[in-house]
Structure 1
Amino acid sequence: MHDAEEVPAAPPMVSGPWSSPPAGFAQIPGQRAPQASEFFPSTHPLAQPFAQLPVEVGDLPPGIVPVPFPAPPSRRGRGLLVGAALALAAALAVGAGVVYVNRAPLSLNERAAAAGPEPTAARTPLTPAEAAVAALKAQAAALLANNEKGWLAAVDPGQSKLRTRYTSMFRALRGLGVSHFDYQTSVDPVDAKSGTVQVTAEVAYCFSTDKCPEEKYNASDGPPTISQVLTFKKVSGRYVIAKVTEKKSRSRQQPTPWESGELSFLSGERVTVIGNRTERKYFKQVLAAAEKAAVVNDRFAGLVGNPQRRYRVYVAGAKQWKTWYGGITDKWVIGYAIPLKDSGSDVVLNISAVRTDSDVLATTLQHELAHVVTLGGAYRTGGSDDMWLEEGIAEYVGWYPRSATDSWRRSAVRSLLAGSKRPKTIAAKAPGDNASPDTSDAFYGFGHFTADCLARKYGQGALFDFVRLYLRENRDLDPASREAFGKPFTTVDKTCLTWIRDKV
């Protein structure tokens, strides 16, 4: 889904839960499968080539924040929805990071920073809170410097399981090409009984293949974040992490894959496939299909001004599907594109649902990568009113170069236009949370026909100009239509309604 994107599957009359598209489904002509690199786990010393790009360590944010940070506007997600379950878009909305304190603010950063370079005699002993924040600052710097020993120095040496978890986290982040990692913290008073210190941390992160907004402001949600509650205790004179807690949350999109265990990687020319060891046997199959989808989407990325340095596709097994980014429980969803705020997007596949049907795998990947290029990295303020174009353009790209008349959704659209609730505008309202599979199927198909009409009547370049203006630049509907098509939206609307009725 973007922000997680969904696509209904074949209509109910097609037999089987994941029935193939009609015979003759187009493959992109002239494309060969990529020569993939060898499998290598995140423990491999070379990890990912792009993980070695230069990185910078940002200044530590204020250690104590006396009031909550203002929450940015909520943003939706999308996924490859097979049948229905449009409610998932709302359920995967990106939540805002909020940090609270329950005591007077301390100047943690200044004191922690000053403690390093000063002569020993001049140092003021750090409070437990300051020591905990200093340990996190040093840990973040070690990660960006590719210093695993320094990263683990912040973790209790007596807890092997916790250190294994942090080792996997380090190697996954390095394999993904981490380029920014920063703790924003609030600290509770020392627990008088246990002597421990509890730190609530917002962790902001970016990868080198994505853009990295520096901070939240009125035109950006800032970098992606996760939330952790860390418990520090004193060991051999130092405060170290003794416990880490994060809650599974769809609204917070947690846990991320890199928090959730060791990852393996397989890289092609344009795509990196990522997953746990148990899913590595599917990596070559997914990579071959994803590389073909990337070739198609690279062209459209250029048309909307959002070229991608590299695509990431996560292969989720049953456990990961129910946990990564908060987990998916709806049985109809087989894939989604999840936004990393304004930084970029990840694609996640439910491998058990797509591995046995090459056409479903190809269409799913081409559709989801379309969400990455048309919506990824854009600061969006639109709501569900935009879904007609978001999903229509993803269907257009997902089926490209075949037209909407070749889609398995055509019969659902025909039924929609013959019914009493036929749409009166191409900007159709998205179905409700409890929409039937037929209703959802018709909505996606109608969006596909709409995009097809705009391309055929006004040119493909004009269609993607419209997508850029309306979806990525937040232009209003009529000004975007006038600039892209040279006509008011009311005229374009009537033209395409007539065209769709004729073609269906």
Structure 2
Amino acid sequence: MTEDAPRRRPRWPWWTAPAVVLVLLACGLPVALLAGAADRDTDRPAAAHPAAGRAAPSDPVTPAGQADPAGRAALVGRQLAGQLDRQAAALLRGDRTGFLAIADRSVRSDLARRYSALRALRVTVWRAESEGPPVAVGGQPGRWRQPVTFRYCLVVPDCRPDPVRVQTRWRESGDTLVLAAVEESRAGRTGPRPWEVSELVTAVGPRTVVATTPAYRGRLPELLTAAEASAQVADRYAVAGPPPDRYRVFYAGRAEWTRWYGGGRPRWTAGYAVTVGDGRHEVVLNAAALTTGGPGELLRHELTHAASLPGGGYSGGRTWWLVEGLAEYAAADHTPVDRYEGLDEVHRFVTGGWDGRLAGLAPADDAPADRAGAAYGIGYLAVRHLVDRYGEQRMLDFFRAVLPGGRTVEEASVQVFGEPWQPLHDECVDYVRTRT
């Protein structure tokens, strides 16, 4: 199961008149390539190869070899893999008709939306890997179920493909196998992904790709400009390896916020970074929260998560203050401490009876927004103190030792700082109290 790193709600107005966008573009800020959900004619190299795995039960089934004589499942499996390979090749070469050709008419509308969204996101690799042999659906002759893992790259042709696992259903039609359904991915909080369920429009820059629904198309230029600037900051905090090949940012309206990646985030969340593959995180911004806050600070925070978090995700707990403190430190981008926007929230929380324990800072999902804001602020101040005392590089070495190094903060403190953690912890707490 993957975990995400939510961000508290920001507070300053930012969407301004359309003239601002024109000024930004006229000043030579990052050039955006705006792409709607409409198809492109650009050809892509096909990359489709079946693989083996397992099926997940949900319906009554007939195991192969019982009511499936003479290896019928194996034959169906080969036909099914061939259909998926043909569909993958069609997607990559920009052939919408070919992509839909393997499917029943009842599902073509859904598949057409997926096709357009993936093309808008500049899909460069798409492989379909069947998980084990297909399974006959009991009581429905000629009907089959097949779990499939799709592996894909966006924009970058040589990335490590991200996996998404879905259930597919098929029916026999004469000598042809027809795709009858493609379900949404629902593995923990990694699905459904935006391109599975929404029409998307995109803007692509040298370091980022930003996507949203057509209703917010007009916000793409400013979002891309802010994302590109934030990526330059976030790249400095890639502690476990090189920065992401492209930061992926999805801007969610009200309906999308409750549906993309499972929804269900705390009410105080303005954005989050979610693990979608081996080492990759995608970022989601809450459009409703950003009506009262600027995108730059939030994007610096979330892209820093995407750059710094372990590939397998992050489960919170005792090091929450360090993870969020680093992201807040990056979001502040070296501005003076007394200009940090959350100091008032920190002051009220600290003087209201805080127990002085960094390990217990993580706010509950139902916490008030000011309680969540105070927790983020304390994390920021603690990390800032470590930077002031030891320098940014040693603070990053400490972060690396804990996440993704797997050491306790006590072990990492001795290893990196040469000092036991408890006195440093107390120094951080004293710093928090004196700065507020």
- Classify the TM-score, shorter chain: 0.7 to 0.9
Distance in 1, Cα, partners of 2:342 & 2:73: 69
Aligned to 2:84: 136
Q: Does 1:225 align with 2:225?
A: no
SS of the counterpart of 1:39?
Answer: strand
Counterparts of 2:49 and 2:77 in 1: how far apart (Å)?
20
Q: Which has the higher contact order (CA 8 A, sep 6+)?
A: 1
> Once the 2 structures are TM-superposed, how far is the Cα of residue 166 of structure 1 from its aligned partner?
1.9
1:388–1:331 CA distance, 2 compared to 1 (3 A): closer
Instruction: Tell me which protein shows more helix as a share of its residues.
Output: 2
Q: How many residues align?
A: 417
CA contact (8 A) 1:129 1:197 kept: no
Distance 2:410 2:60 in 1: 46
Letter in 2 for 1:177: V
Match of 1:498 among 426, 430, 436: 430
Query: Residue 338 and residue 233 in structure 1: after superposition, are their counterparts in 2 closer, same or farther (change >3 A)?
Result: same
Work out which of the residue numbers 408, 421, 424 in structure 1 matches 2:341: 408
Verify the 8 A CA contact 2:170 2:180 in the aligned structure 1.
Answer: yes
Q: CA deviation at 1:365?
A: 1.1
Provide the secondary structure at the position in 1 that maps to 2:366. coil
Q: Which residue does the alignment assign to 1:170?
A: 115
AA partner of residue 243 (structure 2):
P
Deviation at 1:309, TM superposition (A): 2.0
Normalised by the length of structure 1, the TM-score is 0.72
- Report if aligned partners of 2:321, 2:361 keep a CA contact under 8 Å in 1: yes
- What SS is found at the alignment partner of 1:308? coil
Counterpart residue number, 2:204? 267
Match of 2:160 among 212, 219, 232: 212
Q: Which residue of 1 aligns with 2:38?
A: 43
Instruction: Return the offset for 1:398.
Output: 1.1
Query: Are the aligned partners of 1:404 and 1:448 in contact in 2 as well (CA < 8 Å)?
Result: no
What secondary structure, in the 3-state scheme, does the structure 2 residue paired with 1:167 have? helix
- 1:134-283 paired onto structure 2 within 5 Å: 134-140=82-88, 142-143=90-91, 148-156=96-104, 159=105, 162-174=107-119, 175-185=121-131, 187-193=134-140, 195-207=142-154, 209=156, 212=160, 223-228=162-167, 230-246=168-184, 249=186, 251-283=188-220
CA contact (8 A) 2:268 2:368 kept: no
Gap runs ≥5 in structure 1: 11-17, 22-30, 69-97, 113-123, 214-222
Alpha-carbon distance change, 99 to 129 in structure 1, aligned in 2, over 3 angstroms: farther
| Deviation string, structure 1 residues 24-59 (Cα, Å, up to 9, x no partner) | xxxxxxx97624234222434257xxx95x674445
Match of 1:313 in 2: 249
Percent identical among aligned pairs is 27
Change (3 A) 1:235 1:398: same
Instruction: Give 3-state SS (helix, strand or coil) of 2:8's partner.
Output: coil
Match of 2:332 in 1: 399
2:323 aligned residue (373, 390, 406): 390
CA drift of 1:285 comes to 1.6
State the secondary structure of the residue aligned to 1:305: coil
Report the Cα distance in structure 2 between the residues aligned to 1:467 and 1:145, rounded to whole angstroms. Answer: 43
In structure 2, what is the Cα distance between the partners aligned to 1:483 and 1:280? 49
Does the residue aligned with 2:170 lie in a helix, a strand or coil? strand
Q: Within the alignment, does 1:421 sit opposite 2:354 as a pair?
A: yes
Correspondent of 1:477 among 382, 401, 409? 409
Select 2:234's aligned residue among 280, 284, 297: 297
Letter in 1 for 2:35: F
Could you list the per-position Cα deviations for residues 431-457 of structure 1 after superposition, in whole angstroms to 9, with x for gaps in the alignment?
334333332222111101011001101
Closer, same or farther: CA 304–133 of 1 in aligned 2, 3 Å: closer
- Distance in 1 (CA, whole Å) between partners of 2:406 and 2:60 is 35
Cα RMSD over matched residues? 3.5
Letter matched to residue 416 of structure 2: A
Match of 1:362 among 296, 305, 314: 296
Q: 1:126 to 1:339 in 2, by over 3 A?
A: closer
Structure 2 unaligned blocks of 5 or more? 15-24
Deviation, 1:423, is 1.4
1:328 and 1:379, CA in 2 relative to 1: closer, same or farther beyond 3 A? closer
User: Do residues 454 (structure 1) and 399 (structure 2) align?
Assistant: no
Q: Distance in 2 between matches of 1:285 and 1:135?
A: 41
Q: TM-score, normalised by structure 2?
A: 0.82
- Aligned match of 1:61 in 52, 57, 61? 52
Secondary structure class of the residue paired with 1:309 = coil
User: What is the distance in 2 between the residues matched to 1:486 and 1:199?
Assistant: 55
Aligned CA distance change for structure 1 residues 61 and 143 (closer, same or farther; 3 Å): farther
2: CA distance, partners of 1:320 / 1:481: 41
- State the partner residue of 1:371: 305
